[in-house]
Structure 1
Amino acid sequence: MLELALTFFVVAVLAGFFGLNGIAGLTMAIAKWLVLIFLALAVVSLLL
């Protein structure tokens, strides 16, 4: 999950570099949600 979030982050940075602000914003939002899901699942797995 974290690897996928990192991939979306790299795509967002590259899209921002090339001036594709809509795509950069969307991929950054997806990356943010994937990191939050990863952290929630990590906490749950540590507690159980």
Structure 2
Amino acid sequence: MRANRLMWFAAGAVTMAMYLQGPHALMERGYALAGSLALWANSLI
């Protein structure tokens, strides 16, 4: 439960940071983030 709340907080913070950076940093950042999230998820399993 606690991890879930932390995940939502992190997602919110990332979304806000991306929004502030504007759309074209968003694509690159999103791609890099997707890769790091995949690695993180694999480390949990």
| TM-score under structure 1 length normalisation | 0.45
Structure with higher RCO (Cα < 8 A, 6+ apart): 1
Question: Which structure has the bigger radius of gyration?
Answer: 1
